[in-house]
Structure 1
Amino acid sequence: MSTTFDPAQLGQQLKDETGIPPLEKWNPEFCGDIDMRIAADGRWFYEGSPIGREAMVKMFARVLWREGDKYFLKTPVEKVGIQVDDVPFFVTQVERRKGEKGIELIFTTSTGDRVLADAEHPIRVETDPKTGEPSPYLMIRFGMEGKLARNLFYQLVELGRVVHDKKGSELIVDSTGEAFSLGKLRL
């Protein structure tokens, strides 16, 4: 199923919204899939071409929604399906500051979202079973994650602490009093 998609109309529907709209309260009809894709490196494409306007990408990111393993752009009046190669957000920066519960790690995505790593926004690391290469992720919102840029993972490794237990050694990074595993260590 495919639909006619008008980015200008989407902009008009969102003109009075600031920040992230109340997507969880909107229940529009599914209008079909559109030829839009978010690449694993966070770049957005429409009909095979990169979307070059940063403001347009940020507008789309504000109305991004996930149901099961499918992704949509969702407004009060329509919901259209899009493709996501890995996860929809790409995390490009991390800031470290002192907070009430100790160190706080605040991450920024390529679309301008700022997310504090905490119990609701955990960091997780998947390890490729064949290559052993880690892929770090952060929960952003509405069940959607962002993949951390490789340099951010190395920054987290530098901030990490080693914890030893009966199962072995693990590298842990802390934020808001929460401990997040960056992976098991082979010693």
Structure 2
Amino acid sequence: MSGQNPVTPSPDSLVASIKAANTRGLPPVEKWDPPFSGDIDMEIRADGTWWHEGSQINRKKLVKLFSTILIREGEKYFLVTPVEKVGIRVEDVPFIAVDFEATGSGSDQLLTFVTNLDDVTEAGADAPIRVERDPDSDEPSPYVLVRRNLEARIDRKSFYRLVELGVHHDGWFGVWSGGVFFAIIPSKDLPEG
């Protein structure tokens, strides 16, 4: 990407740019359209940890700041500020849903998830739950939309709790949240008993 930007993108330049934007809450990244500045050696691993140049970023406050400027375009992920846009790698999805609370029951149930970075999302029409299955092992991987088009993988303990809340509806076994039924598995595929 030489010639596009004389300054090599770095986490420090991203932090400086976001501080200069002086935003409260989530930055309005959808309004920012800076030129692509290149890729940086940053990765979000499948376990939700953030890494830069082979070292884990252990400062949660810094990781949370970076997560607020994360966007996804197609299958690619970028950190974006008003003045630069850099590509990063994401092994699976950027967040892990580490817990949830269920209120109400039946179709009035509401599932509120919390991520590893303290994001809160209520599953429903605007934040769907989906389950992918590994084609070889048939192991389920459940996800919930957190914001924009960024998802969290629901951790194993939370998924087991979701299954405990599951009900049969229209030939499927799944869960209700926000007035929407989210299918997990066809009822016919459930083991007997």
Question: What is the TM-score with the length of structure 2 in the denominator?
Answer: 0.88
Structure 1 portions without partners, runs of 5+: none
* Residue aligning to 1:134: 140
* Residue aligning to 1:48: 54
CA distance in 2, matches of 1:164, 1:75: 45
Any idea what the Cα deviations from partners look like across 1:134-182, whole Å, max 9, x if unmatched?
00001112212111111111010001112353xxxx2110111110011
Q: Which runs of structure 2 are paired with 1:1-187 in the superposition (5 Å)?
A: 1=1, 4-15=8-19, 16-98=22-104, 102-163=108-169, 165=171, 170-184=172-186, 185-187=189-191
- Name whichever structure is richer in strand by fraction: 1
Any idea what the Cα deviations from partners look like across 1:34-81, whole Å, max 9, x if unmatched?
000000110000001000000000000000001111000000100000
Check the 8 A contact 2:9/2:37 in 1, yes or no: no
CA distance in 1, matches of 2:95, 2:101: 17
Check the 8 A contact 2:46/2:92 in 1, yes or no: yes
- Name whichever structure is richer in helix by fraction: 2
Q: Aligned with 1:14: secondary structure?
A: helix
Check the 8 A contact 2:10/2:40 in 1, yes or no: no
Identity %: 47
Amino acid at match of 2:18: L
Structure 2 portions without partners, runs of 5+: none
Any idea what the Cα deviations from partners look like across 1:75-109, whole Å, max 9, x if unmatched?
0100000000011111111011239x721111011
Any idea what the Cα deviations from partners look like across 1:6-26, whole Å, max 9, x if unmatched?
433333333321221111110
- 1:121 Cα offset (Å): 0.5
Check the 8 A contact 2:142/2:159 in 1, yes or no: yes
CA distance in 2, matches of 1:49, 1:158: 38
Any idea what the Cα deviations from partners look like across 1:110-133, whole Å, max 9, x if unmatched?
111100001011000011121010
Amino acid at match of 1:14: I
Number of residue-to-residue matches in the alignment: 182
Check the 8 A contact 2:123/2:177 in 1, yes or no: yes
Q: Over aligned residue pairs, what C-alpha RMSD do you find?
A: 1.7
CA distance in 2, matches of 1:40, 1:4: 26
